Chain A
Amino acid sequence: MRYLPLTKDDRAAMLDRIGVDSIDRLFRDVPHSAVVQRNVFDLPDTQGELAIERQLTKMAGKSKSAGSLPFFCGAGAYKHHVPSAVDHLIQRSEFLTSYTPYQPEIAQGTLQYLFEFQTQVALLTGMEVANASLYDGSTATAEGVLMAQRITKRPKAILSGGLHPHYAETVETVAGLSGTVTRSPVTPGKAEDIIALIDDQTACVVVQSPDVFGLIRNLKPIADAAHAKGALLIAVVTEIVSLGLIEPPGAQGADIVAAEGQSLGVGLNFGGPYVGLFATREKYLRNMPGRLAGETADAAGKRGYVLTLSTREQHIRREKATSNICTNSGLCCLAFTIHLSLLGEEGFLRLARANHARASALADRLADIKGVELLTSSFFNEFTLKLPKTAASVVDELAEKGIIAGVPASRLLPHDKEARDLLIVAATETNTDEDCDALVHALSGAVA
């Protein structure tokens, strides 16, 4: 099916008005040697909906979806129930097929939901101001480091060993160009002494809580130590639902929060698109990357919203911009906002409690298995187990039996000897008693 409304007659009439006899004349600046014929491409011709549906449904069928079996993966992406209203609303034409709100008079829908999103992010993280999203949690963390380097005019970023390794690698890719990146030791289940590494060359300390192993970190002492040396604390949150139960980074002294909002509204999506949340203190506002929706009034005095403080951005500042980012996560922000609006205060807090209760009960049962040790003494909905054999082989064995047991730490840290026996398990409100029974039973068998 091709979405091409022009007919042969239309094309002829249009060529006539233009004053050329063939479409090739309009491509006359293309070097002759570079013009290719259709048959150069080893690709199929147009196909109809039915044929495509068949092919892609068959292809997708070769994956085991998370909802089709007992599923316990986390490590930066979490399976939560997204209420049906969310997907229905984001598919409305006016949301799905609208553009960036550069003409605010006909984009108040988008601008207002971005303003609501910014407010929600600030409330969740306990920070003063938030932007209208970045691509995801990992790039948001990298942007946070660049921002801290700009503010403090210092080169060094210290990354906690509990920071998701993908996030750490992403930070190294960009921040390594403008400064140095130091990683503190990886200590699964324990808080490493990151304070000892802070010096007067430090721009920022980056600490994830709950960390990649699930451990809840106490941010306040780190924030205090960083501030004492003139550095900033960047708090990273990969499971945003945790903020329904744990003290938010803003209340613990964080200067910048970089988080992943995927848990609300977005779904697993095999890694993307996700939604990067970014919040900071008002005094750092003009250093913040990303779009911002601001409240104002129109010529008739009605309240309205516009993109604002654009002089930070690439289309104006060009090489002096705070970031090169243009596109945000648009529709994913909307999904997040709708999901959180449906939850409300009561629902969000209950959701967080349900997650912790489920994970806590499961952790108890798994730790009871002979040879299995629970490493994380405090956690939200994700914890790490030490197994008596390599975790990757256990995961593969259980996958054969139709259970996705979690993420082996070696997938993220292939060279860490200690990580080989570690399994990171997440349990959310979507895991049933039967799922947990199946995991306990299968894991017992696998490590016996």
Chain B
Amino acid sequence: MTMNNQGRPTSSGSVNENEMSTISGDRGLQHDVSLIFELGRPGMTGVDIPEVQMSDARLGGLRRKGSVGLPGLSEPEVIRHFVRLSQLNYSIDAGLYPLGSCTMKHNPRLNEKMARLPGFADVHPLAPQQTVQGAYEAISELMKWLTTLTGMPAVAMSPKAGAHGELCGLLTIRAAIEARGEKRNRILVPSSAHGTNPATAAVAGFVVDEVPATEDGHVDADALEAKLGPDVAAIMLTNPNTCGLFEPRIKEMADAVHAAGAYFYCDGANFNAIAGRVRPGDLGVDAMHINLHKTFSTPHGGGGPGAGPVVLSDRLAAYAPLPLLVHDGNEFRMIEHADEATDGAKPFGRMCAFHGQMGMFSRALTYMMSHGADGIRQASEDAVLSANYILASLKDVMSAPFGEQPCMHEALFDDSFLEGTGVTTLDFAKAMIDEGYHPMTMYFPLVVHGAMLIEPTESESKESLDRFIHVLRTMALEAKAGQTARFEGAPRLAPRRRLDETAAARKPMLRWKPKDLPQAAE
């Protein structure tokens, strides 16, 4: 069988809580929260909608027969429920999130205010085009920022997230290749790539060919160049790469790829390291998605929504998907059908309904205007500076596999410094929770063992960084000195102890069920 050497415990073990007990079960500001379905009373509602007279005649005989089964609560009860839930969450507003690859920077509140302007938020995507010019103008402005910062001539705005953008980029490449009358079905992806890269390549109908990494954490450019051939459609690289390093041979690789008739897709997840200093267009990139929810501060919202517009080179611009925003000299217009396309545009189709994540566009545009080109450049420099500061401050007590060279906006450590201590990357991370920190990205990238990828971003003050460094140094030294008490059974101070992921996967319970229905596979 294929061996996975990143196996780690996923059951929870069990502990005895020796803490003070309370009558209610709640503890001070920590309230336990029932499921919404366990609350409320029949007939209660928190929204005042008048009853109306209504006939069945126009329902085609398909009027809903049973009840839906929803609980009924008043507004005070609903607000209390969700406020209590919120208090169980860590957030950037509350603390540092050193998650490598995620760029957990501050989410400015001006973004929220601007996104809610009615001319952006309360407009319908199919309203008559002349009535939504303000919203089109905002999209156009954002397109200008994205293409200018990246040095690329065009941008496809409709992808709804980074992975969706990757798909858009690969489909654009596929269209360009078909237009040349060729058949190329192989895509080269580094072993260090984020999982969305090979998954997207497979969805787009390509075969994935893995390129190894060198010992110093870069993509093996020689191996990559050797794999090029007339059946290779594209390479997918991340730059800076997932080890936090800038690929020094990137231009050489891009040139080789182009010479072989293939395209260069760049995963833009790490754009925060170079925005304002380096233009991907100058590196030979043909398509790159930009995670607006990473580099451009739109909020992570507990997992989404995102937005993944894709900048495109001259070689690919013509194949950008529908719809296309154009200005005809008088006003903006969205071209929504292939035969209306002008100027040689040959869109490959549509990625999704309507035309993109307007709510994220207005937020990202606000952020860009707030920073300006000079501020974006400064932000990238501060991001890189902070990551290197952390690397320099920790590499003597923790193990940094590529620590002899500067990193970019994120610093990679592995678990060799924990060897022989009995403490794993997982234990180390869970102990950070007790210290009031969200753990760093763990076990990614896969090219090092027990990876710990730390990305502080430019939003942290020096005090915050120093405190973080101090805590990690102390933890590392304690682990190495055999003082492992704080790691055992961590976390102890969070709203929950370690959770049993094994049981959750063996007997999935994915919804609440009323008592008189059989529970899911118990």
Contacts and interface: CB of A to CB of B under 8 A. Distances in A.
B118 A65 contact: yes
B410 to A, nearest CB: 13
Of the listed residues B70, B359, B462, the one surrounded by the most CB atoms of chain A closer than 10 A to its CB is B70
A245 B67 CA distance: 10
B515 to A, nearest CB: 14
B449 interface: no
Interface in A310-346: 311, 313-321, 323-334, 337-338, 340-346
Interface string B361-393: 010011011111111011101101110110111
Contact of A166 (B45, B166, B354): B354
How many chain B residues sit at the interface, stated as a range, is 35 or more
A89 B461 contact: no
A347 interface: yes
Contacts of B196: 314-315, 324, 326
Contacts of A18: 385, 388-389, 391-392, 406
Interface string B296-315: 01011111111100000000
B495 A108 contact: yes
Nearest to B82: A89
Of the listed residues B87, B348, B350, the one surrounded by the most CB atoms of chain A closer than 10 A to its CB is B350
Given A56-B117, A100-B302, A170-B351, A272 B65 contact: no
Given A11-B385, A26-B388, A411-B336, A60 B134 contact: yes
B20 interface: no
Contact of A106 (B208, B245, B433): B433
A407 interface: yes
Nearest to B501: A306
B423 interface: no
Given A44-B372, A66-B127, A115 B122 contact: no
B279 A34 contact: yes
Contacts of B247: 29
Given A26-B384, A85-B75, A244 B64 contact: yes
B36 to A, nearest CB: 5
A378 B59 contact: yes
Interface residues of A, number: 204
B123 A272 contact: no
A52 B124 contact: no
Interface stretch (B8-16, B258-266, B475-483): B8-16
Contacts of A344: 40, 44-46, 70-73
A23 B385 contact: yes
B178 to A, nearest CB: 12
Given A64-B131, A66-B127, A105 B498 contact: yes
A97 B124 contact: no
A308 B105 CA distance: 27
A74 to B, nearest CB: 9
A157 interface: no
B293 interface: yes
Interface stretch (A194-202, A296-304, A438-446): A296-304
A135 B164 contact: yes
B63 interface: yes
A324 B135 contact: no
A272 B137 contact: no
Of the listed residues B131, B366, B497, the one surrounded by the most CB atoms of chain A closer than 10 A to its CB is B131
Contacts of A92: 82-83, 86
Nearest to B141: A59
Contacts of B102: 99
B404 to A, nearest CB: 12
B47 A272 contact: no
B130 A1 contact: no
A20 B357 CA distance: 41
A38 B78 CA distance: 50
A417 interface: no
Interface in A1-47: 1-7, 10-11, 13-15, 17-20, 23, 25-31, 33-36, 38, 40-47
Of the listed residues B12, B15, B68, the one surrounded by the most CB atoms of chain A closer than 10 A to its CB is B68
A234 interface: no
20 contacts: A2-B372, A45-B375, A55-B369, A98-B89, A103-B439, A105-B430, A106-B491, A109-B87, A113-B85, A116-B37, A130-B510, A138-B352, A167-B353, A216-B59, A298-B498, A302-B32, A324-B196, A325-B163, A343-B70, A345-B67
User: Which 8 residue pairs across A and B have the least CB separation, nearest first?
Assistant: A60-B119, A271-B354, A331-B301, A344-B72, A271-B125, A62-B134, A378-B60, A273-B305
